[in-house]
Structure 1
Amino acid sequence: MTHHDLLAPMAAAAQEVGELLLAAQRPAPVTSLDELARVYGALEAPAVAVMRRHLDALRPGVPWVDEWDSRAVLPDEGEVWVVDVVDGAVQFLQDLPQFCVSLALVRGGEPVAAALHAPVPGETYLAALGGGATRNGRPIAPSPKSDPAVALVATSQPPFLTRLPRAADEAGASLAAVLPCVGAVRNLGPTSWQIADTAAGRLDGFWEFGPDDANLLPAALVAREAGALVTDAEGRPWTAGADSFLAAPAGLHPHLVAALGRRRRAA
């Protein structure tokens, strides 16, 4: 089975999980971290079961890691599924529409097939290594802009940023550095979906500080295959485990690298 052949069953898996999430009864707003963990765990369990059924049938014996495992257990060799059944869980629990299902098959630390599905708008991004990227079956490409003054860029942070004090500091400093250079900065929800929207030209760039492989790996493949540049904040090729991430079209990428570089001089 080629990388491209994997995309249809991966999309089916993501879409079935999405339907399950849409049908789930949203809980009342949680008021503590313990309650958050309990409520989310109850919502996540059936979604994980559906995803495991699909992936075990598609690639028998291939293990998978989720949002938390991938920080420490992403293997250097062999295949592994990297899955987030609810990227944007905070929004989902707040009854907001900005959440998605994301998954990638990763081989030797590099994503080779990826699917992202946003249940509320009913959109699906797909990408295979060397095969381009699509949204709902149509090829996508990044923004043609080269003037940062008219750029709409986005940023986000890994979950539970308080556990990553350096990333929190970098996030604040980078926002202060980028804001004066671009038209607008937004955080529009799930990390993976914002990167995919950058790949499709809806957004003109996306950056983040801190390790976040489960959210970054699927979307990084979509962005690369669409033709966006995917690097760290210093402009070096991005790899899993990196401390920063930047996706942008070629015309804006050097401007954003320069702006992010100014965060250090301002610190």
Structure 2
Amino acid sequence: MQKEIDIPLIINAVKKTGDLFLPDFRKTAIPNTREDSLIQLNHIEERCLTLLQENLSDAFPDTPWLGDEFDFEEQQKPLGLPEYWLCDTMDGAVQYMQHIVGWTINLVLVRDGRPYFAVIYDPYAQEMFWAVEGGGAFLNGNKINPSAKTDATVTLAVFEYAYQYKKVEGLNKKIGNAVTDLLENFGVVRNYGPCGLQLAYVGVGRIDFFYQPDLDTYNWLAGILIAKEAGAEILTADGRSWTWGEDSLLVATPGVGQKFCVAKSETQLTQ
């Protein structure tokens, strides 16, 4: 395991990979069947992962590439390895296939059971978010910070949920209740799509509040490190400090998350 990492090398590898998809964006046919969607999705993932591995294997010859974003049992705790890559080959692949902007390449280096380095690249906007543990968060080389907004009437809150191959009993109701909580507390509520990009947007102050009431660790990790290093608060749905394996996530402008949790609890007590 390398103590020091070559950050420019990693960033260049991610940029090269993401930019590879720009020429075909909005040129391929939007899939009309599940089969066509899976074919396009598999092609995107294989192409992306292959290029990333080719560009990083010399610098990280002994660092494995692991993780399945749909294996929710695996996501409950770090893997028992000193160091490994977790890659969301295209966060927002559905948006890419639907000719909608916002798709990103997300990469996390997990070290000693914690996200140590993370990068989220938006090729269409040419925006590179990255952070290293204890070293701050950056957008295209400039240090970023969350919003200082405290007025709930103009707070932009977003909600997210994990895609499930199988129906999970009670999950839809849980998500619906979470959206209701947001609508009752904030002036603007949206869902933007790619998980990591939304969390990076909290870090840079474009989004003020992110809320997800179910487990989605691998989709969160890159954005969590970026938002945390930028200065956002990283909590669970009930206001506790988030740790790996929690089945909810709340990332917000400092102070806003805790205030929301208190207000939600008071509402539940009066019902």
Fold match (TM-score > 0.5): yes
Does the CA-based 8 Å contact 2:44-2:90 persist in structure 1? no
CA distance, structure 1, for counterparts of residue 185 and residue 82 of structure 2: 42
CA distance, structure 2, for counterparts of residue 142 and residue 42 of structure 1: 36
CA distance, structure 2, for counterparts of residue 266 and residue 165 of structure 1: 26
Alpha-carbon shift at residue 174 of structure 1 (Å) = 0.6
In structure 1, what residue type is equivalent to 2:144?
I
In structure 2, what residue type is equivalent to 1:252?
V
Q: Deviations over 1:41-82 (max 9, x none)?
A: 122211110011133223212112244366344404421111
- Given the two structures, how large is their TM-score scaled by the length of structure 1? 0.91
Compare 154-163 and 136-145 and name the one that shifted more: 154-163
1:9 matched to 2:6? The reply is no
Alpha-carbon shift at residue 29 of structure 1 (Å) = 2.2
Does the CA-based 8 Å contact 1:29-1:94 persist in structure 2? yes
Compare 121-130 and 163-172 and name the one that shifted more: 163-172
1:106 matched to 2:110? The reply is yes
- 2:60 match: 59
Does the CA-based 8 Å contact 2:67-2:86 persist in structure 1? yes
- 1:255 match: 259
In structure 2, what residue type is equivalent to 1:124?
M
Does the CA-based 8 Å contact 2:160-2:191 persist in structure 1? yes
Given candidates 178, 181, 185, the residue that maps to 1:177 is 181
SS of alignment partner, residue 250 of structure 1: coil
Compare 199-208 and 146-155 and name the one that shifted more: 146-155
Alpha-carbon shift at residue 255 of structure 1 (Å) = 2.4
Describe the shift of the 1:225–1:19 C-alpha distance in structure 2 as closer, same or farther (beyond 3 A). same
Describe the shift of the 1:50–1:235 C-alpha distance in structure 2 as closer, same or farther (beyond 3 A). same
CA distance, structure 1, for counterparts of residue 243 and residue 177 of structure 2: 23
- 2:38 match: 37
- 1:23 match: 23
Q: Deviations over 1:99-151 (max 9, x none)?
A: 11101101233101011100000000010000000101111011111222221
Alpha-carbon shift at residue 7 of structure 1 (Å) = 2.5
1:242 matched to 2:246? The reply is yes
Over aligned residue pairs, what C-alpha RMSD do you find? 2.2
- Given the two structures, how large is their TM-score scaled by the length of structure 2? 0.89
Describe the shift of the 1:111–1:245 C-alpha distance in structure 2 as closer, same or farther (beyond 3 A). same
* Superposition pairs of residues 1-267 of structure 1, within 5 angstroms: 2=3, 5-24=5-24, 26-68=27-69, 71-73=72-74, 74-160=78-164, 163-261=167-265
Describe the shift of the 1:256–1:170 C-alpha distance in structure 2 as closer, same or farther (beyond 3 A). same
CA distance, structure 2, for counterparts of residue 85 and residue 185 of structure 1: 27
CA distance, structure 2, for counterparts of residue 169 and residue 57 of structure 1: 47
SS of alignment partner, residue 176 of structure 1: helix
CA distance, structure 1, for counterparts of residue 261 and residue 86 of structure 2: 28
Q: Deviations over 1:178-232 (max 9, x none)?
A: 1021110111221100000001111111011222122101110001101111111
Does the CA-based 8 Å contact 1:89-1:99 persist in structure 2? yes
Gaps of 5+ in 2: none
Alpha-carbon shift at residue 153 of structure 1 (Å) = 1.1
CA distance, structure 2, for counterparts of residue 220 and residue 36 of structure 1: 29
CA distance, structure 2, for counterparts of residue 42 and residue 226 of structure 1: 34
CA distance, structure 1, for counterparts of residue 105 and residue 265 of structure 2: 32
CA distance, structure 1, for counterparts of residue 266 and residue 21 of structure 2: 41
In structure 2, what residue type is equivalent to 1:44?
E
Identity of aligned residues (%): 29
CA distance, structure 2, for counterparts of residue 43 and residue 83 of structure 1: 13
Gaps of 5+ in 1: none
